């Protein structure tokens, strides 16, 4: 779903390291505080390592502070047994598509 809102401040973008349990490789992920419109609500949006590493998503979000933007979000809610059969629950909004304009298609038009 497309949701319109804004990121109020640079401090609303939290970047952290996420180690891969299998390989030990460390990637960057992020959480943004996103103020939606109609209805107004403050939500946390998770950004995957793939979108963080694409070279455009994080830069676009930082440029968009205090501006209205549309984000393609999905709400995920699931639970499963993780390592050592420990309960793992996931619930929240996830960015599934970069909001940054595709420069290659923009150049073709």
pLDDT at res. 108: 41
50-70 residue pLDDT tens = 999 888 999 999 999 999 999
**Domain range for 33:** 2-108
| pLDDT value of position 106 | 42
Mean pLDDT, rounded, of the chain: 88
Residue ranges in the chain modelled with pLDDT below 50: 105-109
Q: E strands, 41-97, where?
A: 41-47, 69-81, 87-97
- Neighbour count for residue 79 (Cβ, 10 Å): 10
pLDDT value at residue 21 = 77
Q: How many folded domains does the chain comprise?
A: 1
pTM: 0.82
Provide the CATH number for the domain around residue 72.
2.40.50
- Predicted confidence at residue 109, as pLDDT, reads 39
Q: What is the pLDDT of residue 107?
A: 43
Full 3-state SS string of 47-75 = ECHHHHCCCCHHHHHHHCCCCCEEEEEEE
Q: What is the pLDDT of residue 44?
A: 97
39: preceding bond cis by omega (within 30 degrees): yes
């Amino acid at each position: 779903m497309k949701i319109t809102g804004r990121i109020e401040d640079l401090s609303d973008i939290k970047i952290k390291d996420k180690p891969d349990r299998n390989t030990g490789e460390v990637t960057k992920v992020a959480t943004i505080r996103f103020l939606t419109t109609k209805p107004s609500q403050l939500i946390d949006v998770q950004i995957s390592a793939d979108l963080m590493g694409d070279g455009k998503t994080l830069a676009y979000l930082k440029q968009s502070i205090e501006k209205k933007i549309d984000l393609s979000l999905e709400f995920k809610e699931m639970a499963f047994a993780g390592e050592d059969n420990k309960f793992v629950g996931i619930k929240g909004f996830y960015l599934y598509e970069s909001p940054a304009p595709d420069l290659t298609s923009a150049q073709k038009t």
